[in-house]
Amino acid sequence: MLFELSHIDCRYSDGVLALDDLSLSIANGERLVIMGANGSGKSTLLRLLAGLLHHIEGSISFNGHELSERSLQSPGFRQQFRQSIGFVFQNADAQLFNATVFEEVAFGPRQLGMSEAEARARTLDVLSFLGIEHLAERPPFRLSGGEKRKVAIASVLSMNPQVLMFDEPFLGLDPRSQTWLIRTLQQLQAAGKTTIVATHTLDVARRIADRALILDEDHRLLASGPVAEILEDVVLLERANLVEATFAEASAR
């Protein structure tokens, strides 16, 4: 297993419960979606998996090693973990801070210690793969929302992580950009990447994942199973507030 979570309780700094008694496993190479209504804990779970949150009860392991604030103080484990995980935030502006798109995408490879020639080649490869070479000299803050999302993804891919996590990546995208992102995810999955996507966009879940985790509004794991089966269980989706009750009732008749 890539990740093992056992009896996780997580609270925000004000004491409000974010996740309640959560236990689950994620295998290497999985295509996984985390689904639930707004406020159910999807983003919190992603941040725990990415090593960005630590104030919890219970335990998390990554590749058989404890994942905690203490373990990430070990230079060897921290470097291995950070190079393995790529995280794309819901708000792309939180990720973009360089003067040009090229500098943004090259930042990660340079931090990994690549030579300038290697960093440049990696950056150009990623820009080409995502079809955004024409944005290379543009300032990120002048891009559209969809373009910013693409650059944020490029800045993560340039470090070639094994695990890619996306927090509500389809939010605010127009249909063309949604199609682009679905195809990009499918290409990355075909290359063997583990993808973990938090979303409440049901209509794309079956195209990007094999398994779904459902969080309810009490911040507990309500269900885990094949995406096709989960999406056919309208009563379950209504319990999780992912569809309206009237839709669930009509489908059940």
pLDDT tens digit string along 41-90? 999 999 999 999 877 889 999 999 999 999 999 998 998 999 999 999 98
| CA 18, chain centre distance (Å) | 18
Our CA angle for 171, 102, 50, nearest 5°, is: 50
Q: Which fold has domain 3-252?
A: Rossmann fold (3.40.50)
The two beta strands, 163-167 and 3-11, are unpaired
Q: How many residues are given for the chain?
A: 253
Report the percent of the chain where pLDDT is more than 70.
96
Check residue 45 and give its pLDDT.
Answer: 94
158 forms bridges with which residues in the sheet?
A: none
Cα separation, 186 vs 182, in Å, equals 6
| CA 151, chain centre distance (Å) | 15
The DSSP code for 50 is T
Check residue 95 and give its pLDDT.
Answer: 86
Report phi then psi at 12, rounded to 5.
-70, 170
- Give me the average pLDDT of each 10-residue run along the chain (253 residues): 93 84 95 93 93 86 92 91 92 88 94 92 95 94 90 94 94 88 94 94 91 94 95 94 64 46
> What are the residue ranges spanned by the domains of the chain?
3-252
What sign results for the dihedral spanned by CA atoms 67, 70, 75, 79?
positive
Contact partners, residue 103, CB within 8 Å, separation at least 6: none
Whether the pTM exceeds 0.75: the reply is yes
Our CA angle for 92, 94, 99, nearest 5°, is: 85
3 forms bridges with which residues in the sheet?
A: 26, 62
Check residue 19 and give its pLDDT.
Answer: 93
Check residue 245 and give its pLDDT.
Answer: 58
Cα separation, 164 vs 188, in Å, equals 9
Cα separation, 149 vs 129, in Å, equals 15
Cα separation, 38 vs 242, in Å, equals 9
